[in-house]
Protein backbone atom coordinates (compact mmCIF):
# COMPACT_ATOMS: atom_id res chain seq x y z
CA UNK A 1 0.00 0.00 0.00
CA UNK A 2 1.48 3.33 -1.07
CA UNK A 3 0.30 6.77 0.02
CA UNK A 4 1.80 9.50 -2.18
CA UNK A 5 1.85 13.06 -0.85
CA UNK A 6 2.96 15.91 -3.10
CA UNK A 7 2.98 19.66 -2.73
CA UNK A 8 5.10 22.80 -2.61
CA UNK A 9 7.55 23.81 0.12
CA UNK A 10 6.12 24.45 3.61
CA UNK A 11 2.63 23.28 2.67
CA UNK A 12 2.57 20.93 5.65
CA UNK A 13 3.03 17.74 3.65
CA UNK A 14 6.05 16.60 5.69
CA UNK A 15 4.32 16.94 9.05
CA UNK A 16 1.21 15.28 7.64
CA UNK A 17 3.30 12.51 6.10
CA UNK A 18 4.84 11.61 9.45
CA UNK A 19 1.48 11.66 11.24
CA UNK A 20 -0.21 9.60 8.53
CA UNK A 21 2.59 7.02 8.54
CA UNK A 22 2.38 6.70 12.32
CA UNK A 23 -1.42 6.39 12.16
CA UNK A 24 -1.34 3.47 9.73
CA UNK A 25 2.00 2.10 11.01
CA UNK A 26 3.56 2.51 7.57
CA UNK A 27 7.16 3.36 6.69
CA UNK A 28 7.79 7.04 5.96
CA UNK A 29 10.16 8.81 3.57
CA UNK A 30 10.58 12.55 3.10
CA UNK A 31 12.05 12.43 -0.41
CA UNK A 32 13.08 16.07 -0.17
CA UNK A 33 15.71 14.92 2.32
CA UNK A 34 17.38 12.97 -0.48
CA UNK A 35 17.86 16.13 -2.53
CA UNK A 36 19.03 18.08 0.50
CA UNK A 37 21.59 15.35 1.16
CA UNK A 38 22.78 15.45 -2.44
CA UNK A 39 23.15 19.23 -2.18
CA UNK A 40 25.01 18.88 1.12
CA UNK A 41 27.46 16.39 -0.35
CA UNK A 42 28.01 18.45 -3.49
CA UNK A 43 28.75 21.56 -1.44
CA UNK A 44 31.05 19.55 0.86
CA UNK A 45 33.06 18.61 -2.21
CA UNK A 46 33.25 22.24 -3.25
CA UNK A 47 30.89 21.73 -6.16
CA UNK A 48 28.11 23.97 -7.45
CA UNK A 49 24.64 22.39 -6.95
CA UNK A 50 23.65 23.90 -10.29
CA UNK A 51 26.32 21.73 -11.99
CA UNK A 52 24.37 18.72 -13.27
CA UNK A 53 27.38 16.43 -13.59
CA UNK A 54 28.67 17.18 -10.07
CA UNK A 55 25.19 16.86 -8.56
CA UNK A 56 24.61 13.53 -10.31
CA UNK A 57 27.92 12.20 -8.95
CA UNK A 58 26.84 13.13 -5.44
CA UNK A 59 23.45 11.46 -5.97
CA UNK A 60 25.08 8.25 -7.21
CA UNK A 61 27.33 8.15 -4.12
CA UNK A 62 24.65 9.11 -1.59
CA UNK A 63 24.76 7.15 1.68
CA UNK A 64 21.18 6.68 3.00
CA UNK A 65 22.61 6.30 6.51
CA UNK A 66 23.30 10.07 6.50
CA UNK A 67 19.68 11.09 5.86
CA UNK A 68 19.16 11.72 9.57
CA UNK A 69 21.70 14.55 9.57
CA UNK A 70 19.97 17.45 11.44
CA UNK A 71 21.88 19.97 9.32
CA UNK A 72 19.78 18.94 6.31
CA UNK A 73 16.94 21.17 7.55
CA UNK A 74 18.95 24.39 7.31
CA UNK A 75 17.47 27.13 5.07
CA UNK A 76 20.51 27.31 2.79
CA UNK A 77 20.19 23.66 1.86
CA UNK A 78 16.58 24.15 0.83
CA UNK A 79 17.65 26.46 -1.97
CA UNK A 80 20.55 24.20 -2.94
CA UNK A 81 18.25 21.15 -2.92
CA UNK A 82 15.91 22.94 -5.32
CA UNK A 83 18.86 23.48 -7.64
CA UNK A 84 20.01 19.84 -7.67
CA UNK A 85 16.43 18.57 -7.99
CA UNK A 86 16.02 20.16 -11.43
CA UNK A 87 18.66 17.85 -12.91
CA UNK A 88 17.19 14.80 -14.62
CA UNK A 89 20.39 12.86 -13.92
CA UNK A 90 19.98 13.39 -10.19
CA UNK A 91 16.33 12.36 -10.20
CA UNK A 92 17.18 9.23 -12.17
CA UNK A 93 19.94 8.30 -9.72
CA UNK A 94 17.50 8.51 -6.79
CA UNK A 95 14.57 6.82 -8.50
CA UNK A 96 15.41 3.20 -7.60
CA UNK A 97 15.92 4.01 -3.90
CA UNK A 98 12.53 5.71 -3.67
CA UNK A 99 10.67 2.95 -5.48
CA UNK A 100 12.32 0.27 -3.37
CA UNK A 101 11.31 2.16 -0.23
CA UNK A 102 7.75 2.41 -1.52
CA UNK A 103 7.58 -1.38 -1.51
CA UNK A 104 7.85 -1.53 2.29
CA UNK A 105 5.27 -3.77 4.00
CA UNK A 106 2.54 -3.31 5.07
CA UNK A 107 2.76 0.10 3.40
CA UNK A 108 4.71 3.29 2.85
CA UNK A 109 4.06 7.01 2.89
CA UNK A 110 6.29 9.12 0.63
CA UNK A 111 6.13 12.89 0.34
CA UNK A 112 7.78 15.11 -2.22
CA UNK A 113 7.11 16.90 -5.48
CA UNK A 114 6.67 14.02 -7.96
CA UNK A 115 5.58 10.99 -5.94
CA UNK A 116 2.13 10.60 -7.46
CA UNK A 117 3.21 11.58 -10.97
CA UNK A 118 6.63 9.93 -11.45
CA UNK A 119 7.90 7.89 -8.50
CA UNK A 120 4.72 5.97 -7.67
CA UNK A 121 2.05 6.74 -10.28
CA UNK A 122 0.37 3.46 -9.29
CA UNK A 123 -0.16 4.60 -5.66
CA UNK A 124 -3.66 3.76 -4.45
CA UNK A 125 -3.90 7.01 -2.49
CA UNK A 126 -2.57 10.37 -3.63
CA UNK A 127 -2.78 13.72 -1.87
CA UNK A 128 -1.71 17.10 -3.17
CA UNK A 129 -1.15 19.34 -0.15
CA UNK A 130 -0.88 23.08 -0.66
CA UNK A 131 -1.44 26.51 0.92
CA UNK A 132 -0.97 30.11 -0.18
CA UNK A 133 2.64 31.29 -0.58
CA UNK A 134 2.09 33.83 2.21
CA UNK A 135 0.86 31.21 4.66
CA UNK A 136 3.65 28.82 3.76
CA UNK A 137 6.21 31.59 4.23
CA UNK A 138 4.74 32.43 7.64
CA UNK A 139 5.01 28.81 8.75
CA UNK A 140 8.57 28.41 7.51
CA UNK A 141 9.59 31.73 9.09
CA UNK A 142 8.24 30.66 12.49
CA UNK A 143 9.96 27.29 12.16
CA UNK A 144 13.30 28.90 11.36
CA UNK A 145 12.89 31.54 14.06
CA UNK A 146 12.22 28.83 16.64
CA UNK A 147 15.40 27.12 15.48
CA UNK A 148 17.31 30.32 16.20
CA UNK A 149 17.96 31.26 12.58
CA UNK A 150 18.05 34.97 11.78
CA UNK A 151 15.98 35.48 8.64
CA UNK A 152 13.11 37.84 7.76
CA UNK A 153 9.65 36.70 6.72
CA UNK A 154 9.89 38.70 3.48
CA UNK A 155 13.08 36.85 2.60
CA UNK A 156 11.40 33.52 3.31
CA UNK A 157 8.46 34.46 1.07
CA UNK A 158 10.84 35.41 -1.73
CA UNK A 159 12.58 32.07 -1.36
CA UNK A 160 9.24 30.22 -1.38
CA UNK A 161 8.13 31.96 -4.59
CA UNK A 162 11.47 31.30 -6.27
CA UNK A 163 11.36 27.61 -5.38
CA UNK A 164 7.74 27.30 -6.50
CA UNK A 165 8.63 28.74 -9.90
CA UNK A 166 11.67 26.50 -10.26
CA UNK A 167 9.86 23.34 -9.11
CA UNK A 168 6.85 23.92 -11.38
CA UNK A 169 8.91 24.99 -14.39
CA UNK A 170 11.69 22.42 -14.47
CA UNK A 171 11.80 19.96 -17.35
CA UNK A 172 12.47 16.92 -15.15
CA UNK A 173 9.46 15.84 -13.05
CA UNK A 174 7.88 19.26 -12.50
CA UNK A 175 5.69 19.87 -9.47
CA UNK A 176 2.06 19.29 -10.45
CA UNK A 177 -1.03 17.65 -9.06
CA UNK A 178 -1.66 14.15 -10.40
CA UNK A 179 -5.07 13.88 -12.11
CA UNK A 180 -6.22 11.33 -9.52
CA UNK A 181 -4.80 13.14 -6.46
CA UNK A 182 -7.04 14.63 -3.80
CA UNK A 183 -6.41 18.34 -3.21
CA UNK A 184 -5.93 19.35 0.43
CA UNK A 185 -5.56 23.10 0.95
CA UNK A 186 -4.19 23.69 4.46
CA UNK A 187 -4.16 27.51 4.31
CA UNK A 188 -6.87 27.84 6.95
CA UNK A 189 -6.28 24.55 8.76
CA UNK A 190 -4.17 23.86 11.81
CA UNK A 191 -2.25 20.59 11.82
CA UNK A 192 -4.96 18.68 13.71
CA UNK A 193 -7.66 19.73 11.26
CA UNK A 194 -5.40 19.01 8.28
CA UNK A 195 -4.59 15.57 9.68
CA UNK A 196 -8.26 14.71 10.20
CA UNK A 197 -9.09 15.86 6.67
CA UNK A 198 -6.23 13.78 5.26
CA UNK A 199 -7.28 10.65 7.17
CA UNK A 200 -10.87 11.03 5.94
CA UNK A 201 -9.64 11.25 2.33
CA UNK A 202 -7.26 8.31 2.75
CA UNK A 203 -9.79 6.05 4.48
CA UNK A 204 -12.31 6.75 1.72
CA UNK A 205 -9.74 6.02 -0.98
CA UNK A 206 -8.67 2.80 0.80
CA UNK A 207 -12.28 1.72 0.94
CA UNK A 208 -12.73 2.27 -2.78
CA UNK A 209 -9.50 0.34 -3.43
CA UNK A 210 -10.71 -2.56 -1.30
CA UNK A 211 -7.88 -2.18 1.19
CA UNK A 212 -8.53 -3.30 4.77
CA UNK A 213 -6.39 -1.39 7.27
Q: Compute the average pLDDT of residues 3-27.
A: 96
pLDDT band at 210 (very low <50, low <70, confident <90, very high): low
pLDDT of residue 213: 47
Weakest mean pLDDT among 101-105, 172-176, 186-190: 172-176
Weakest mean pLDDT among 128-132, 160-164, 183-187: 160-164
pTM of the model: 0.90
Per-residue pLDDT tens for 43-61?
Answer: 999 999 999 999 999 999 9
Answer whether 4's CB lies under 8 Å from 127's CB. Answer: yes
3-state secondary structure of 213: coil
Per-residue pLDDT for 211 more than 70?
Answer: no
Q: Please name each of the domains of the chain with its CATH number.
A: 2-207 (3.40.50.300)
**Rounded Cα–Cα distance for residues 205 and 126 (Å):** 9
Amino acid sequence: MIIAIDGPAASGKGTLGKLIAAHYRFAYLDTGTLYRAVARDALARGKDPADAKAAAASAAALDPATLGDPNLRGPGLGEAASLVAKHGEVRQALLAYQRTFAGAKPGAVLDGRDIGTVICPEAKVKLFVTATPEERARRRYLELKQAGMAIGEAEVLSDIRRRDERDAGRAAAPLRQAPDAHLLDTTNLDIDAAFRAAIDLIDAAMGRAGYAS
